[in-house]
Structure 1
Amino acid sequence: MTLDWEFHPLVGERVTLDLLRPDDLDDLAALQGDPDVCRYLLYETRSREQVAEILERDAAATRLAAKGDYLQPAIRSETGRFIGTMYFELHSVEDRTAEIGWILAPHAQGHGYATEAARLLLALAFDELGLHRVQAELDPRNTASVRMCERLGMRHEGHFVEHMWLKGEWTDTGHYALLEREWQAARGSEIAPRSDA
């Protein structure tokens, strides 16, 4: 496993994961202040002042070396426009595990941007860092995130009923995960020649 990783932009075909910048404040505040976006998140809508503090904190998260280290990079479109954020946290160095998450602006949803961004982080996790397992936890009512986990090849491992008291109600938690060997097998099948070719 290769740790003590310092952030560098992760570039895909249509999206780039890059550090948050001060000029992202308006877009990030709109995202985290939107009740529909925050509906299935662990926090209520945030004020512009709260988002400014979070932006400063998360922009400084640039290193993965120990349990609890995290990244919260911006997702940027082909034109460099801010369209959301990814989340990646080391859960255990010894067990080589991490958690992944995402938030995408409503205008950017339905185009595969979040899936591409998540694949960039999974490639980092498995191909560069040598992690064994990456998991995602979500509210099962968030069907878009459930479908994304499925597109990423993540396995549905559990459904915890009324798992937490959140925003005035008991909410369930869904658990999804992907192992390094599953990631490598899926990548191998993507590049293997088709038998009908």
Structure 2
Amino acid sequence: MLEPAYPIKTARLILRPFTQADLGALHSFQSRPDVARYLYWEPRTRQETAAALKDKITRSTLTEPGEYLSIAVELIDTGELIGDLTLSWTSREHASGEFGLVFHPEHHGKGYAAEAATELFRLGFDGLGLHRIHGRCDSRNVPSASLMEGLGMRREAHLRENELVKGEWTDELVYAMLSAEWKRR
């Protein structure tokens, strides 16, 4: 079980549960074609974003495998919502999880995603006691692959045309980190 002690503060960010007040900011990036390009969903309408937010608001703790955390990322300096983190608890038996993140493109390239993901890994490895956390991305999504490599994750697979996404066969990259690797960072 994992009940994070919110808010979680880093040097530049606050990680916290989502609230209804996040709708406008969340929609500002979920509605963008460049954000949805490598995701399973198309750019969202405000109504679709509201439905996604309603679910995110209920996802602030993990009590059993199959659940996921959904964490809002805001800038300390401005209070602006800039990102969305996810940590899924995929298996109790295998002590495994998966992480994902989506950030507003105006905040790419500034190290915010790595800063936030590091805290998400801390929650997974140190808080939940996971043995392995993996992440996946479309092979064309070079910034996501670079982020995972920069976090110290190891590329474990390049799956050729393994998924039909938005009518197109896509390659997928799989990265992972073990708890022993996390501790050695």
Report TM bin, short chain: over 0.9
Q: Deviation at 1:154?
A: 0.3
| Residues 126-149 of structure 1: CA deviation (Å, up to 9, x unaligned) | 122211000001101111101100
**Contact kept in structure 1, 2:68 and 2:86, CA below 8 Å:** yes
Partner of 2:56: helix, strand, or coil?
helix
Q: 2:171 matched to which residue of 1?
A: 172
Partner of 1:23: helix, strand, or coil?
helix
Q: 2:115 matched to which residue of 1?
A: 116
| Residues 116-175 of structure 1: CA deviation (Å, up to 9, x unaligned) | 000001011112221100000110111110110011100000011001111121001110
Please report the TM-score for the alignment, with normalisation by the length of structure 1.
0.90
Deviates more, 1:22-31 or 1:95-104: 22-31
1:65 maps to a residue whose letter is T
Across the aligned residues of Structure 1 and Structure 2, the Cα RMSD in angstroms comes to 1.0
Match of 1:6 among 3, 12, 27: 3
- Mind listing any 5+ residue stretches in structure 1 that lack a counterpart? 187-197
| Distance (Å, rounded) in 2 between the aligned partners of 1:150 and 1:32 | 25
| Distance (Å, rounded) in 2 between the aligned partners of 1:135 and 1:103 | 16
| Distance (Å, rounded) in 2 between the aligned partners of 1:176 and 1:65 | 25
| Distance (Å, rounded) in 1 between the aligned partners of 2:66 and 2:8 | 21
| Distance (Å, rounded) in 1 between the aligned partners of 2:35 and 2:106 | 11
| Distance (Å, rounded) in 1 between the aligned partners of 2:40 and 2:132 | 23
Partner of 1:64: helix, strand, or coil?
coil
| Distance (Å, rounded) in 1 between the aligned partners of 2:69 and 2:48 | 18
| Residues 69-124 of structure 1: CA deviation (Å, up to 9, x unaligned) | 11111111122210010111000011110000110101111100000000001011
Q: Deviation at 1:6?
A: 2.1
Q: Deviation at 1:9?
A: 2.3
Q: 1:15 matched to which residue of 2?
A: 13
Alignment of structure 1 residues 75-154 onto 2, 5 Å: 75-79=73-77, 80-154=79-153
Structure 1 vs Structure 2: percent identity of aligned residues?
Answer: 39
**Contact kept in structure 1, 2:87 and 2:124, CA below 8 Å:** no
Q: 2:59 matched to which residue of 1?
A: 61
**Contact kept in structure 1, 2:136 and 2:174, CA below 8 Å:** yes
| Distance (Å, rounded) in 1 between the aligned partners of 2:146 and 2:53 | 28
Please report the TM-score for the alignment, with normalisation by the length of structure 2.
0.96
- Mind listing any 5+ residue stretches in structure 2 that lack a counterpart? none
2:104 maps to a residue whose letter is A
Q: Deviation at 1:62?
A: 1.9
